[in-house]
Every structure is written in C-alpha cells, then in structure tokens.
Structure 1
Amino acid sequence: MSLRQSPENRFLTASPGRLFAVTALPMIAIMGMNGILGIVDAFFLGHYVGADAMAAVGMTFPILMITIALATLVGGGMSSLLARQLGAGNREEASATLAGAHGLALSIALVLIVLFCAGGRLFSIHLAGSDGSIADMVWVFLAISVAGTPIQFLLAVHADACRNEGHAGTMALMSLGVTLANIVLNSVLVARMELGVAGSALGTVLAQALGLTLLLVLRRLKADMLPLASLWRNRWTNRWQAIAVLGAPLSLGFAGMALSAASVVVALRFSASADYAKTIAAYGIATRIFGFAFLPSMAVGMAMQSIVGNNVGAGLYARSDATLRIAATTTLLYCAAVEGLLLSQGSALGAMFVADAAVIDDVGRILRIMAALYLFSGPVLVLGLYFQALGQPARAALLTLVKPVLLVPLLIGTAAILLGGNALWFAYPAADALAVVITVLVLLTAIKERGRAGIGIAATGVRP
C-alpha cells in the first residue's frame, strides 16, 4: 500500500491551529444548523400542537438516537479508514471504502424498516401506555422517520466523506440552505397545514433529501473528490467488518444515549407520577437543548478526526497530537460556557418551547441538575474520537461507551429505586464525574505506551 504524501492535501501542510480553525468552524456551522432543526421542530410542535406532541416526540427520542447511532456506525467507521487512506495518497482504497459504506448503510436501513413494519404499532402503544392519542402520534412520527432512514444514512456517508476530503466550508453553506428549507417546511406542514408530528417528521426527511442531493451534485462537480463513478467500479460489500469495528465505539455511544433516555422514560413511568406526561414533555425539551449544545463539541471532534486521520496516515504524529490539544481545549471552554447558561437560564430556555408553567419549571430543574458537570463532556468526547481516528477502537469504546451504556442507566435505576423519580436526574453529573476518572486513566496509559520519546500517542495507532 502506498504511503506517499499527497502534495495537494492541505491537511498535511497547513499549520495545525489554522487548519483546525478552517476545518472546525464550518463543521460547527453545519452541526449548529442541524441542531437548529431540532429546536425549530420543538418550537413548532410546542406552540402549534401542544404538550402532548412534545411528550410523544420525547418518547421517540431513544429510537431516533438508535437511527443516529447506526448512521454514525457507518459514517464514523468509514471516516477512520477514509481519512488515513486519503492521507496516504491511496485514492483507490478510499473509493472502495466509500462504496462499501453505501452498501452497509442501505442494508441497515432496510432491516430497520422491516422491523418497524413488523412491530412498530405495538411498540408505540406500549411506549405511550394508556394514552391512545399520544400512542398514535408516536407511531406516525416513527413511521415517517424510519421510512426516511435510507436518506438519513446516505446523507451521513456523503457528509463524512466530504469532510475528510477537505470541503467542510462548502458543506456549511449547503447546511444553511437545508436548515432554511426545513424551517419553511415546518411552517407550512405544522403551522399552516396542521399536520402535527407527521409534518415535523416529514419536514425533516424532505430536508435530508435536499441535503443528500446537494452533496451528490457537489461530488459530481468537484474533480478533487472521489468520483461517483467509483461507486459502480467497487463492490458494495467491501470492508463492512472494518467499518463496523471502527464505527462501533461512537455508534454505541449514541445507542447508549438511547438506552439512557429509555431508562429515564421507564423510571418515570414506574414511579407512578401523576405528572408523567408533563415530566416527559419537559425531558423531551431538555433533550433537544442538550442535543443542540452537544453538536458543536461533536463538530470539533469530527474536524479533529479528519485532521488527525490524514496526518496519521502520512506518519505526521506531532501534528496529530497538536490538533488533539487544540480540540480538547476548545471543547472545555465551550462546555464550561454552556454549563453556565444552563445553570442560570434553564427555565427561560424552557419557556421558549411551551407556555405550560409546570413544564417550564420542570425543564429548568432538569437542566440545572443534568448540567452540573457538563464542562467535562466535550474533552471526553474529543479524546474518544481521537482514538477512533487512530484506529484504536478499544480505547475509543471506553471513552464513548462507558458513560451512556453503563454508568447513566445504572445510576438512573439506582436513584429511582432508592430515592424516587425526582432524584434520577442526579445520575448525569455522577456519571460525568466517573467518566472523567476513566478518561484520565486511559490517557495516562496511552502516553506510557509511546514507542519512543517525541513520536506522540498517535504512533501506537493502526496504519491505513
């Protein structure tokens, strides 16, 4: 396999600080636009449909996180391979990886659709309990969302490929257009046509379809991107195992978020609270806010992943470690600012979505507790993506899986059983504290395993 450096690859030549800025800022804009979509959806549902719609969408959050997790499995795993292959100048291997990602994405989407057709209705009724109207909204929202997963997954594949090929700025402009289109669609489908949760889900799918179309057009026009024709020259069953293994840590992290959300729903339901629906509505709003706040950190991590992967593929370990330091510092400062906002303005944020005073108070209470140690979440995520970029899935898994898959569900269940439903929110800051301890241990171990002084943590990674 060729390890030559590509002279036109700016990931290998520009200064790490400047390169990080020009890569991360467009990614932050893209993720910010995606986050605004969720906020806009919640705004229209809360103001034009009501608290029951917010409760229904809140109940679907674990399933939506599963779809995001599966999209990340393909896109994230492909990115780890693709960035190192592009950094090594091996475009033929990169083309084969991109084709394999298409096949894996569509296969997973088809399985999801079949499963939902078989049991989606019964699942929706079970999730909503005795409230038939909410169960109907859950089913409609999920039916449209699951039907759109082929578009969602292919969009993730092409967006990640585009990022690793150095076109984050162009993607940011496209993302702005898609976001504006989705806002218009929401105003028409939810506010004017009064389609409720169906309009919200349909607007999202249509916006994703527009985004995918724009990325395909971009790939056709840009000569420096992997050509669309290469998709037909390579088997769509290429490298499924490698993509899945490398994408699993971050993907399972999102699946863990779904598990955590499901744990909250179950704990609240079995606590037999008379305000179950209102609390779920408040939690649904809180998840939208945290989801929006999380995306810039994710953008920084993804930008870092592209830079690190290209430089590790070219053997430039000092540059990859410098990028890690910049990204970790950036997310620490950002998450500290978000924590301050959530602690001081939680109720005011809740009032943006609903007029119900009880729901607004619950939103403020939930945000204040969950955000107590939020400042550490960004650096932990960045380190997890760093190890994934190096081809070290075990370490990436420790940093991205332990908190959502093990710590949060376990602590939620323990708090709900021993202290009652109102105490379960304290599971989040407790899990953040334990995640920091685990991260420090993993990082110290990686530093000790350096092959020789000065070559950096990245030297222990898997070569492309």
Structure 2
Amino acid sequence: MSLRQSPENRFLTASPGRIFAATAFPIVAIMVMNGMLGIIDAVFLGHFVGAQAMAAVGMAFPVLMLSIALSTLVSGGMSSLLARQLGADDRNAANATFAGAHGLALLIASMLIVVFCAGGWSFALRIAGSNGPVAEMVWVFLAITVFGTPIQFLLGVHADAWRNEGQAGLMALLSLVVTLINILMNYVLVVVLELGVAGSAAGTVLAQALGLMLLAGLRRFIGGMMPLSSLRQNRWTGSWRPILALGAPVSLGFIGMALSAASVVLALRLAGSADYARTIAAYGIVTRIFGFAFLPIMAIAMAMQSIVGNNVGARLYARSDAVLRLAAASALLYCLAVEVLLFSAGTVVGAAFVADPDVIGEVGRMLRPMAAIYLLSGPVLVLGLYFQAIGQPARAALLTMVKPFVLLPVLVAATAAMLGADAIWFAYPLADGVAAIIATLVLAAAIKARGNAGIGLRSVENLS
C-alpha cells in the first residue's frame, strides 16, 4: 500500500471536530430516517393490521438481525479496508476491495436464500407455536425479505463506499428521498391495498432497490468516486479473507443480537404463558424502539470509523485519537438522553404503536429495566468500531460480540430459570454493566501494551 497522503481528502485536513460533525450529522440523519421508516411501518401494522402482525414481526426479528449481520459482514469489512486505502491514496487497492465486496455480498445472500428455502417454513411453525395464521405471516414476511437480500447487501456495500469517499451529505439527501418513497409505498401496500406484513416487506425491498440504483447510477457523475468500471476490471473473488476478518466483529455482534432476541422468544415460549401472543407483540414493539435508538449510535461509530481509518492510513494518529474521544463523548450523551426518555415515558411511547392497553402496559414494563443503564452501551460500541477501523479485529470482536452473543443469552436464560420469564428484562442492564467493565479492561490493556512497546499512545494500529 502507498503511504503517501491523499491530497484532496478532507478527512485528513479539516479540524477533527469539524470533520466529525460534517460526517456524523448526515449519517445520523440517514440512520434516523431509516429508523423512522421502521417506526412508521410498525404503526401501520399495529393500527391497521393488528397485534398479530406485530407479534409476527417480533418473531421474525432474529432472522432480520441475521440478514443485517451478514450484510454488515461484507460492508463493514470492506469499509475498514477501504478507508485506510483511500487515506493512503492507494486507488488500485480500493477499487479491488470494492469489486471483491460485490462478489462476496452476492455469494452470502445466495446462501441465505438457499437456507431459507430449506427451513423457512419449519422455523415459522416452531416460533409461532400452534398459531397457524401468525406462522403464515412470519413466513410471508421473511420470504419477501430474504429473497430481497441481494439488493440489501449490495446497497450496504455502495452506501459504505460513499461514506468512506466523503459523500455522506449527498447520501443523506438521497436517503431522505428514498425513505419518503418507502413510507408512501408501505402506506399504499399495508393500509390501502391491505397486504399486511407482505406489503411491509415488499415496500422495504422496493425502496432498497431504488436506493441501490441511485447510489450506483450517480457514481459516474460525482468527482473523486471509484468508477463503476472498476467492477469489470477487478476480480469479484478478491480481498474476501481480509473483508471477512475485519467485518466479522460487528457482524457477529449483530448475529449475537439475533441470538439474544431468539433467546427471549424461546424463554417466553417455554414459560407457556397464556399471554404469550400479547407479550411477543409488546416485545416486537420494544425491538423497534431499541432498534431505532441504536441507529444514531451506529451512525456516530461509523462516522468515527471512516475518519479514523483514513487518518490511520495516512499515519495521522493524533487526529484519529481526537475523533475517538469526540465519538465516545457524543455516544455517551445521546444514550443518556435515550435512557431518561425510555425509563420515564415507556408507556407513552408504546401507545404510539397500538391501541390495546394490555400491550401498551407490557411495553412500559419491559422498557424500564431494559433501559436502566443504557448510557453505557454507546461508548462500548464506539470503542469496538475504533479497533475495527485500525485493523484489530480481535479486540473489536470482543467488544462488539460479548454483550449480544454471550452475556444477554446467558443472562436471559439464567434469569428465566431462577426468577421466571417476567424477570428476563433485567438481563439487559446486567449485560450493559458487564460489557462496560470488559471494555474498560480492554482499553486499559491496549494503552499498557502501547506503553510497554515504547511507541506512544498514537501507534495503536501496530499492535494486535
């Protein structure tokens, strides 16, 4: 890789505070708009289709998280490589990485489709129990979503490429247009045509296809972008190993979220409660709320990742350290605000989704313990993506995987076994607390290792 700095790269020249704000705000806007789509879609389903539709979406949530995880495996791994290659002005390597990500995305999406064809209906029946109509809704929703994953995965590749090429502002504008069109399509499909969960899933896939066409089609008209011709000039089977290695930490974190969600559904299912459908409907709403709240944290971490990666690629370590501090502080303040809102007004938030007072009460009962120490989750994620950005997948994996992949499933099972299904929501603050302790220990070990190596605080990328 070339070690010269890119002469036209704003990530390397603007002040850390200014470039962080200029990068983070558009990405936050994109994430919030995408999150609002999920919230509005849930409102459509809850008010115009009913609690069974919300229960079906809640049951489908683990598979949705799996598809996001696999998409992030490719786009996140590509992003870590791409940012450092662009920062070092190594355009040939960046083009090769971009092309390889396309091939890997299509391969993994095809494998997911094959797995769903083999076991999708069995999964729907098992997770819905004896409720045949809900099982059918789960299967229809997932069938449309899974068969749309090639579009979803390629959209993730192009969106992350735009972000690392410094086009976050324009991407935010395009995202606004696509999101508004998606909301309109979901309204028509769900409310007007009464297609229920099928309309919800189809509207999302159609909007993703439109977004992909815009991001790919406009690339040739914007200066400084990697050309689409690079997809013809480079192998689609290249760079897979480093993409997978660097994308694995965040991807496995999302898979852990799917595992955590599945463990909650399983704990409630095994409890055999007569209120199972109502509780699952409430849990479906809660997953939407926390999913929406998570998106700005992810946006902050992604903005930090792009800037840090470019600066580490150019060996401007003081700038990368400054951006890490800004991102961690921003995530902490945001998560504190979310915690206060959900802890104090959880029932009010639940009432926006459904009219059923029992489901609304369940939402409030779940949110209070789950949000108890939510403020700690943001800085942990930021630190995890920092280690990914500088090429340390082991530390990144530990910080992004430990809570959703290990702590939450274990604590959910333990609390359900010892205290009953009603206590599983207290597993979330316990997991947040333990994850924060682990993050502190990892950061302290990294600082100590740098000091022992005698290379100073700013050369973290040389240590693994």
Please classify the TM superposition score into its range, dividing by the shorter chain length.
over 0.9
Question: 1:442: which partner in 2?
Answer: 442
Aligned to 1:115: 115
User: Counterpart amino acid of 1:9?
Assistant: N
User: Structure 2 stretches of 5 or more lacking a match?
Assistant: none
Distance 1:430 1:39, change over 3 A: same
| Cα deviations by residue, 1:75-121 (Å, 9 ceiling, x for unpaired) | 00000000000000100000000000000000000011111112211
AA of the residue aligned to 1:170: L
The residue that corresponds to 2:17 in the other structure is 17
Q: In the alignment, what sits opposite 1:391?
A: 391
**Percentage of matched positions with identical amino acids:** 70
Distance 2:457 2:196 in 1: 56
Deviating more after overlay: 348-357 vs 213-222: 213-222
Aligned amino acid, residue 271 of structure 1:
A
1:70-219 mapped onto 2 (5 Å cutoff)? 70-219=70-219
Paired residue type of 1:336: L
Is 1:244 the counterpart of 2:244? The answer is yes
Secondary structure at the counterpart of residue 2 of structure 1: coil
Distance in 2 separating the partners of 1:185 and 1:444:
49
Distance 2:41 2:178 in 1: 14
Partner of 1:254: 254
The count of corresponding residues between Structure 1 and Structure 2 is 462
Deviations 1:273-324 (A, max 9, x none): 1100000000000000000000000000000000000000000111000000
Larger mean CA deviation between 212-221 and 139-148 belongs to 212-221
Deviation (angstroms), 1:458: 3.0
Question: What code does the residue aligned with 1:285 have?
Answer: I
State the alpha-carbon separation in 2 of the partners of residues 123 and 370 from structure 1. Answer: 27
Separation in 2, partners of 1:292, 1:434: 23
CA contact (8 A) 2:447 2:457 kept: no
The equivalent residue for 2:405 is 405
Post-superposition offset of 1:453:
5.8
Q: Show structure 1 runs of 5+ residues with no match.
A: none
- Taking structure 1 as the reference length, the TM-score comes to 0.98
Query: Match of 2:441, as an amino acid?
Result: L
In 2, Cα distance between the equivalents of 1:449 and 1:414?
A: 35
Q: CA offset at residue 460 of structure 1?
A: 2.9
- Alpha-carbon distance in structure 1 between the residues aligned to 2:446 and 2:348: 43
Contact 2:391 2:461 in 1 (8 A): no
The CA RMSD measured in Å over matched residues stands at: 0.9
| Whole-Å separation in 1 of the counterparts to 2:288 and 2:233 | 41
Amino acid aligned to 2:462: T
**Residue matched to 1:59:** 59
* Aligned 8 A contact 1:449 1:460 in 2: no
Please list the CA deviations of residues 111-167 of structure 1 after superposition, one character each: whole Å capped at 9, or x if unmatched. Answer: 111111122112111111100000000000000000100000000000001000000
SS in 1 for 2:237: coil
Maintained 8 Å contact 1:390/1:461: no
CA deviation profile, 1:149-197 (whole Å, cap 9, x unmatched): 0000000000001000000000000110111001100110000000000
Shift of 1:454: 4.4
What's the offset of the Cα at 1:461?
Answer: 5.1
Structure-2 change in CA distance of 1:249 and 1:348 (3 Å): same
Q: SS state of the match for residue 274, structure 1?
A: coil
1:229 aligned partner, one-letter code: S
CA contact (8 A) 1:384 1:399 kept: yes
Deviating runs (4+, > 2 A) in structure 1?
451-455, 457-462
Q: Return the letter of the residue paired with 1:460.
A: N
Kindly indicate whether the alpha-carbon contact (under 8 Å) linking 2:392 and 2:461 is maintained by their aligned counterparts in 1.
no
Alignment TM-score, normalising by the size of structure 2: 0.98
Local SS of the residue matching 2:5? coil
